[in-house]
Amino acid sequence: MGTTVATIRAQYPSYEVVVVDDGSEDGTGAIAEEAGAQVVTQPYSKGNGAAIKRGAQAARGEVVVFMDADGQHDPRDIERLLYRFEEGYDLVVGARSGRESQASLARWTANGFYNGLASWMVGQRIDDLTSGFRAVNRKKFLSFLYLLPNGFSYPTTSTMAFYRAGYSVGFLPIKVAKRDGRSHINLLRDGLRFLLIIFKIGTLYSPLKVYFPFSVFTAGLGLTNYIATVVRTDSWRFTNMTALLISSGVIIFLLGLLSEQLTNLQYKDVRIDDEGEGH
C-alpha cells in the first residue's frame, strides 16, 4: 500500500490520491496517509464496491482512475490509461493480457466466459470485463452509483451500465504483477456469484437477449414432446407436459419483454441529466 501510494505521488505529484480504508485492522489508513494519500476511513468492511463508491464521492477531479493497492497494477500505466481516455472515451479499462499471473485456471476461465458473454450482448469485443484498473468520467460514474453492488462485481456492473447508456468504452492492454497478500475470492463460496454476475450482465444491458433463447428452447421442447407423442401414440392429443413447456416458454418471453421495458426506464434520464437538462 505505502509503496504504491508513494510511487503515484512521485510520478504524478499534482494528482489527488484517495485511499479508502475499508475497515482494515492492519494500519492501512495510517500507512497510506503517511505516504501522502487522502484517506477515507470506513468503520467496518463494506466490500470492494462500497469502497469504490466512497472513493468516487470523495474525489474532486473530472476524471477518476481506479486501481488496486495490492501491487498488481503498475502506476506507470496511469498515464497510458489517461492518454487513451483523452481520445474521446467515457470509460477506459485496463485489459489484462493473457492469463494473469495471480489467477487460477478456474478464475481465468470464468473471466473469459464473462468477456465472451458481454461481447455478444453489446455486439462489440470486450477485452476485460472484470478489471478493476480503469479511468472514468467521474460525473457519469456517479450517476450509476445506485446500480453498483457493494461486493466484487462493481467492474462488471459499471462497464455494462456505460454500454447500456450509450457511452464510449475503450480498452488498453496492460500487464499485471503478482498481488501482495492473498485473494479473498473462494471458488466454492463464489460459485453462486458467478451465476448472478451472468444474470446481471444480461439484465443491465438487454434482458430480452437472455430470456428469448431460453423461451425458444423451452417452447421448442414442448413442440418436440408433442411431435414425439403423436408419433408414439398416433394421437393428436395435447399432453399436459406439452402444454406446460409451451406455456412456460411464452411466460419466459413475456418476463424478458417486461424486463427490457424496465431496463429502458432505468436508463431513460441518464443522458439528459448528464447534459444538465434533467430535473
Span 224-251, pLDDT tens digits: 999 998 888 888 888 899 999 999 999 9
- Residue 224's identity, in one-letter code, is T
Dig out the grid coordinates for 1 from the structure: 500500500
195 or 46: whose pLDDT is higher?
A: 46
CA dihedral 138, 22, 33, 134 (to 10 degrees): -30
56-69 pLDDT, tens digit per residue, is: 999 999 999 999 87
Q: What percent of the chain has pLDDT over 90?
A: 42
What angle do helix axes 154-164 and 48-58 make, rounded to 10 degrees?
A: 60
Residues 20-26 have a mean pLDDT of 86
Query: Residue 279 pLDDT > 50, yes or no?
Result: no
Picking from 75-79, 145-149, 248-252, which range would have the lowest pLDDT averaged per residue? 145-149
CB 47 within 8 A of CB 22: yes
Pairwise CA distance, residues 243 & 241, whole Å: 5
- When computed from its CA atoms, the radius of gyration of the chain, rounded to whole angstroms, is 23
Q: Which CATH superfamily is domain 47-205 in?
A: Spore Coat Polysaccharide Biosynthesis Protein SpsA; Chain A (3.90.550.10)
Q: Read off the pLDDT band of 94 (50, 70, 90).
A: very high
Residues 6 or more apart whose Cβ sits within 8 Å of residue 266: 147
Give me the residue spans of the domains in the chain.
47-205, 207-274
Q: Identify the residue with better confidence: 201 or 101.
A: 201
Angle at 228 between CA 224 and CA 232, to 5 degrees: 175
Using pLDDT thresholds of 50, 70 and 90, give the confidence band for residue 277.
very low
